[in-house]
Amino acid sequence: MSAPVRTVADLLSSALAKDPGRPLVTYYDDATGERVELSVATIANWVSKTANLLQDDLAAEPGDRLALLMPAHWQTAVWLLAASSTGVVVDLQGDPSAAALVVSGPETLEAARACPGERVALSLRPLGARFPETPEGFIDYAAEVPGQGDQFMPYVPVDPDAPFLLTRGAEELTDRQTVQRAEEDAGSMGLSQGSRLLSTRPFDDWDGLSAGLLAPLAAGGSVVLCRNAARLDDATLRRRSEEERVTHTVD
């Protein structure tokens, strides 16, 4: 009998148990031409390493607030899942000055400097590459995460009814409520096992995060996550949908 799904991290564990080799996130950046496809197992490995970084090197504890200043990107998905694994509260595009730690892409580093705690910077370069030079006052995620363990065990069991997610325009959600809303969204979108959803939405509110990760994950499907897709004409986007065997699209 499979374990009950109570947290976002449990959604990933369930997917890993069913079919670890299937694609989970296919990421495009249409400003750089990058395309990368990550299986459930690959995402799970990144999540374990990131959760170990959070718990051990960054000394994050359940209930600590993490300001996640990141675009729609596969590494944003990894951080959200790692936070669920550790009980850390994600404040999506939140105020870094009110957070215990901040995770930032290259475009939000100046805002991220307001965080009084640990600051993590991601270059968002292809293949998870490092910054050419680590931004002052930050640790470079790509330099720190490879040496982390491939298995993760929280020091304290995660409470699914503790606060987990804050998004712009939405109330604070527990981990359990986040799963429930993702499942509801999956139903309203018509997603099911094997569905493949293409999303061009940014990760700046619930709708973008749900379409770009949570609803497909809850349904047992996958996502084609397109950043900077406004550069594409309709014909190119249609061709991508055909090549990626997309079953549902949101923009």
Structure tokens that stand for 220 in this block: 């047992």
**pLDDT of amino acid 3:** 66
Range 108-125 average pLDDT: 97
Average pLDDT, the chain: 96
Tell me if 37 is assigned to some domain.
Answer: yes
**pLDDT of amino acid 119:** 98
Tell me if 2 is assigned to some domain.
Answer: no
Phi, psi of 196 (to 5 degrees): -130, 110
Tell me if 131 is assigned to some domain.
Answer: yes
Domain count, the chain: 1
CATH code for position 97? 3.40.50.12780
Structure tokens that stand for 215 in this block: 């609803």
**pLDDT of amino acid 2:** 58
> 219-250: per-residue pLDDT in tens?
999 999 999 998 889 999 999 999 999 999 99
Tell me if 3 is assigned to some domain.
Answer: no
The order of strands in the sheet holding 65-69 is 139-140, 118-121, 101-104, 65-69, 89-92, 163-166, 173-174
Share of the chain above pLDDT 70, in %: 98
> 152-204: per-residue pLDDT in tens?
999 999 999 999 999 986 679 999 999 999 999 999 999 999 999 999 999 99
Domain housing 32:
8-250
Largest CA-CA distance found in the chain, in angstroms, rounded: 50
Q: How many CA atoms within 13 Å lie on the side-chain side of 201?
A: 19
**pLDDT of amino acid 73:** 98
Tell me if 244 is assigned to some domain.
Answer: yes
Is pLDDT of 62 > 50?
yes
Q: 184-208 burial by CB neighbour count: b if 16+ within 10 A, else e? A: ebbeebebeeebbbbbbbebbebbb
The order of strands in the sheet holding 248-250 is 34-39, 23-29, 222-227, 196-199, 248-250
**pLDDT of amino acid 4:** 77
Place of tokens 């600051």: 119
3-state secondary structure of 47: helix
Tell me if 39 is assigned to some domain.
Answer: yes
3-state secondary structure of 208: helix
Range 203-217 average pLDDT: 96
Q: Could you tell me the pTM of the whole model?
A: 0.96
3-state secondary structure of 192: coil
